Structure 1
Amino acid sequence: MRSSHAITGGLIWAVVLAVAWTGIAAAQEAAPAPAPATPVAPAAAPGEPDEKLKDLWTNFLHYILLARPEAAMSYGKAILDANPDPRQVYYLSVRSDKSGVTLATGRGMTQLTPIVEKISALIVQGARDVRKDTDEIERWIKMLEGTPRQFLMGTERLVNSAEYAVPQLIAAMENPRTSASLRERITTILPRLGKDAVRPLSESLQSKDPYVREVVARTLGKIGYGHAAPYLKEMAERKGMLARIAHVANGALASCAGRKALSKPVAELFYDLADKYYSRAESLGPDSRYETSNVWYWQEGLGLTYKIVPRVIFNEVYAMRAAQAALVHDAKFDPAIPLWIAANIRKESNLLVENARRTAANLPAAKDPTHPDDEPAAAYYALAGSAKYLQAVLARALKENDLAVATGAISALKRTAGTKNLVAVLDDQGGAQPLVAAMGSPSRLVRYMAAEIIAARPAKRFTGWHLVVPVLIESLRQSGTPIAVLADPVLDRRNEIKDLIRTAGGEVVDADNFGKALQAARDGAGADVAFIATDVTGPGFR
């Protein structure tokens, strides 16, 4: 059985990944309060808007439709000042005819835009809060056993909850006290949860209940998304798996990823999945409406749980998990190691960028709950990697123009690799010399770092040795000021633009011919941007 606490290994390189699991705390029921001495008006149910909020909402939409933004603004501010539960605003929006169109109209009124944006954000958050309300999900599951109308209503709401409904649906199927009719109805609706439910359903294949395994495998086959493939293959090959269930899993695998997937090893399927996450395949991306996304786990005794991660690191977290799983199934599956290192570096970089944005916006810092506080940083694991793996990381970063991963790989190479390994040709990279290729990167920082490392380790001549000195000279000439190449045959116009660039804080290398200007920049400290201020009809500009 696959474990989320598995130790990732390679022939030389090993990584220990410790995932701090979060449990589900049991909600404690409060003792019933004594009845009041005198009757009082009942409070609004949680999530249900009260009359005052309904009135504010109605007037807000009314004045938008009347094209009276000042009046609408006063009601919009009043809604926000009331600090409503987002679910209340969501319920108001879905119960109002064409509220989305009305809000779009209000968004087009300049003075109303900020308020409409804030109210729209509340609606989005409210929709999510309703989707993941465990009490509501339990009620909707019970509705499946009711009248045909109740069944349809419960199904519709569970489908809307999608991934959030999966833990309770799986728990209901595992519960021996669940009636046969309810199990059958859950089985019927599971495929309708769609792509959003594939990740938690895939984790559910680790259930020990044969019925759950078979139902979930069939469901994943019907949904038909490829990211379930390695989990299905893994279950089909699990020791002691019932032949009937293994047959169902293989059928679902063929439906999800084609018949060729049946002959692929589990490690290769997990690696393919990791690569797609890392490459940000559109079908695997998180919901762009939200700042956070869920990473799903299966815990024996608890069932499905999830950790909430910032959306900016979601793909990297899943890429690392899938690469780790590939190595668990085949410790010699080397391509998974540089992919894991690259994803870890990029995850850390993305989180730093996100927190810089949050600091500027006066928002609390985002954290990675999948990374325990006492776990080393990405640089530690990069340093643990051999030069072969780091060169592979660098080769991919150069191909994708990923500055953070490239500089991370080069920094690690600087501290760990000898001269021979720095300029080694990688057969699995098509004969490439990644560190040498880095000296031709569009990024100055990458060029300088690569040249500095190679120059510090004297060696015999190698392919690309002639690039080292020019790049180092370029580095030494740098002043930290942006440099622009300017070409224009008309001197007065060229001087006018040159003054504008210098006023903006840049340096200028100019000439009446683009070739001359470009050569002057190459002879100097390089350039950051080029301006051709002409109609491109003169000689040398075509």
Structure 2
Amino acid sequence: MVALAGMMLAVGGVRAQDADPDFKDQLRDFIFYVNVHQPDAAVATAEELLGRGLTPRELLDRVEASNLQGELDEALGKALRNEALEPTAGRILTMLNTGRLQRARDPNEIEKNIKSLTGGLRERLYARERLKAASEYAMPQLLEAVLQRTNIQLRTQVQRLLNESGRAPVIPLSVSLAEVEPAAQEQIVTILGKLGYRAAAPFVSELRDKTLSDPVRAACDRTLASLGIEGVSTSELYRQLAEGYYDEREELTSFPGEDVQLLWNYDPSVGLIPTAINTSVYHEALAMKLAERAMELGSNGPAALGLWVASNFSREIDEPVGYDNPAYPPSMREAMYYAVASGPVVSELVLDRALDDKDTRLARRAVASIERTAGPDLIWDRRSGKSPLVRALGYPNRRVQYDAALAIAASQPKANFQGAQRVVPTLSGAIRFAGTRYALVLSENEEQYRSLRRVLEGQDYVVLPYGKDVGDVVEAIAETPGVDLIVTQAARGTTEPLLDAIRSNPKLTAAPILSLVATDELTKLRRVHRGDVSVMIRPFGIDEAAMTVALTQLVDDAAGGVIGEDEAREYAMRSLRALRDLAVAQNPVLDVSEATTSLVSAMNETTGPIRQEVAEVLSRIDRSSAQSVLAEVAMQSSGSERIAMLDKLAGSARRYGNHLDGVLVDRLIELSSTGDDAEATAAATVLGALGLPQSDLVRLILAGE
């Protein structure tokens, strides 16, 4: 029967080959055209091959059956260095690599390769190579093979393979420790010790704390010693590992560059159970799980909870829309729920982390949580001598600055603190400049600058003057409320020093950067900045449409998008309400009068509800310039707006008396005499509140006769 099945498979394979006799000819043609430098013909032939609708696994099988693998690899290497051929060659190479991974990770292939570990030398070497390529995907079957007791030769070979498999077995083996029998625990702990990865430490330490077996405890001690672990609690080891996942360290990423990673659980009745999870939320899932374990084991202080809240915010930020996250079930609430429930001290830890990491989106969520829960005593931590909220006022993103200023104002601080003088000016800036976008272009020459400037101005950016490097425009940067976007086009080999110079300027440390580079630098620089959402690398010569799309994506990912008209209006209104509340409360720390100059300017720059709110704040500032501008605007206005402004002016007069000069008073007297009933009464109200001399009142009476 087996022989018959083998014959059927062989015949099926022959038929598959016979059904497509020209595949090998097309493959040979592609190789030929690449070698004789005919890119158009090579691309056309490659497109025919790719147009066959083959899966990656099918393409790999046919390439291997053609006996042209070596020649194809050489031709693809040449094609990848040719600008015209690189995209097509990249597609072929990606399909072949995907096919190899799919074959290596196929459970049937894994089972076959595990059995081959007890075969001849050549068979064993081939099987080991394939199993290492399968990486974590082979772990359920490898663990089963290493724990079985019937085939000693197989167990020995699998254990030897695991000892040489690098980091791939570490987490799957570690999560199984608590659920297997003591003999298996001792065996796994020994393997983990030989592998030498600290990621295993918290699991081994927890087993050491709980085991009743002396041999297991001794194995744990040996492994922890070999990992350099001494005097660290199990809960702290879990927290440290959670930090590593939060930082997305390379050694904790199983499949770099892939869309999917694996989460692991162990069920004694089933064995190791992998769960696929989107890479965008993989690290956050494990950071949260490990932080939870740290807290369960008694982690003291808010550090582990702060890490959990930060990870949960990051999960929410990075999670694709509509994604069904296997690590965050629907029964869990939104991240903000847990943040506000944790209190402002924890959210300040999250904010501090976000500022250190230049994580703008996380910083904004942390500030929003603090604003909801913080009282006046939290603004300045006298024990540590610092405040993340105050520090956020200097963060190089205007949204974060505005949010921080609003949060501080909402807390109504009662005691002075370092940095208090920056709050009111920041709120004033939000009123006038929130909707203005500023961009910096650094390029080799002015022609490039003009071309890039035109594109940016088409997206409503105000572009700073020309500069080749940061030093050329340092004064312009200092005078700008904030730089929202940077575009660079540097000479070959100078992009990295330029980016370093940009990030060394305090106002530019978090600004999104689009860097245009030579084609031969593209791969290297993309690899260097992989994982940094604030830096995007694109080739020279990108067309305007593609650049516009790239800029939009960059700013969306790095800063949450541009501040649009509606959002700018909302910031202005919130800032005005904050200033009003501070003025009404006569806050002893935040002096609203420091905003007078900006508010006076805003009276001439704004309209509608925002202008009314500006007037309301000015009516609560005891300065002659504030009262005078209210009077001037009232006289320049008409209809309902004039009456509203006269009402604000009357409020100012009631609170602070008369700060108007004689000319403005005379104009008010005239209006009270000549205006319609509503305007005249409103003007007369102002005059009464001003407390004018009796002679002026007599003029009013006589004018009415």
Give the TM-score normalised by the residue count of structure 1: 0.77
Higher relative helix content: 2
Distance in 1, Cα, partners of 2:246 & 2:424: 35
Distance in 2, Cα, partners of 1:457 & 1:341: 22
Distance in 1, Cα, partners of 2:387 & 2:290: 28
SS in 1 for 2:168: helix
- Code of the residue aligned with 1:389 in structure 2: it is V
Compute the displacement of 1:279 (Å): 1.9
Q: How does 1:334-373 map to 2 (within 5 A)?
A: 334-352=302-320, 367-373=324-330
Match of 1:466 in 2: 421
- Code of the residue aligned with 1:72 in structure 2: it is A
Distance 1:100 1:345, change over 3 A: farther
CA contact (8 A) 1:159 1:192 kept: no
- Code of the residue aligned with 2:347 in structure 1: it is L
Decide which of 214, 217, 239 is 1:271's aligned counterpart: 239
Match of 2:217 in 1: 246
Distance in 2, Cα, partners of 1:440 & 1:370: 36
The range that moved more, 463-472 or 87-96, is: 87-96
Distance in 2, Cα, partners of 1:185 & 1:486: 60
Task: Kindly name which structure, 1 or 2, has the bigger radius of gyration based on alpha carbons.
Answer: 2
Q: How does 1:91-490 map to 2 (within 5 A)?
A: 91=61, 96-97=69-70, 99-175=72-148, 178-240=150-212, 242-255=213-226, 257-258=227-228, 261-352=229-320, 367-421=324-378, 423-425=379-381, 427=383, 430-460=384-414, 461-483=416-438
SS in 2 for 1:57: helix
Distance in 2, Cα, partners of 1:47 & 1:318: 45
Compute the displacement of 1:201 (Å): 1.8
SS in 1 for 2:30: helix
SS in 1 for 2:118: coil
- CA-atom RMSD in angstroms: 3.6
- Code of the residue aligned with 1:89 in structure 2: it is L
Distance in 1, Cα, partners of 2:396 & 2:45: 52
Q: 1:381-421: CA deviations, max 9, x gaps?
A: 21221111111111111111111211111111122222223
- Code of the residue aligned with 2:163 in structure 1: it is P
CA contact (8 A) 2:211 2:217 kept: no
Distance in 1, Cα, partners of 2:168 & 2:388: 38
Distance 1:143 1:482, change over 3 A: same
Match of 2:605 in 1: none
Task: Could you tell me which runs of 5 or more consecutive residues in structure 1 were left unpaired when the two chains were aligned.
Answer: 1-31, 356-364, 488-493, 532-542
Distance 1:472 1:85, change over 3 A: same
Distance 1:442 1:343, change over 3 A: same
Q: 1:488-539: CA deviations, max 9, x gaps?
A: xxxxxx999998975663336779x978756754xxx5554799xxxxxxxx
Task: Could you tell me which runs of 5 or more consecutive residues in structure 2 were left unpaired when the two chains were aligned.
Answer: 443-448, 467-471, 488-705
- Code of the residue aligned with 1:245 in structure 2: it is V
SS in 2 for 1:459: coil
Match of 2:13 in 1: 44
- Code of the residue aligned with 2:31 in structure 1: it is L
SS in 2 for 1:237: helix
Structure with higher RCO (Cα < 8 A, 6+ apart) = 1
Distance 1:515 1:314, change over 3 A: closer
CA contact (8 A) 1:292 1:308 kept: yes
Q: What percentage of aligned pairs have identical amino acids?
A: 29
Distance 1:334 1:453, change over 3 A: closer
Distance in 1, Cα, partners of 2:85 & 2:206: 54
CA contact (8 A) 1:124 1:289 kept: no
Match of 2:44 in 1: 74
CA contact (8 A) 2:336 2:369 kept: yes
- Code of the residue aligned with 1:506 in structure 2: it is Y
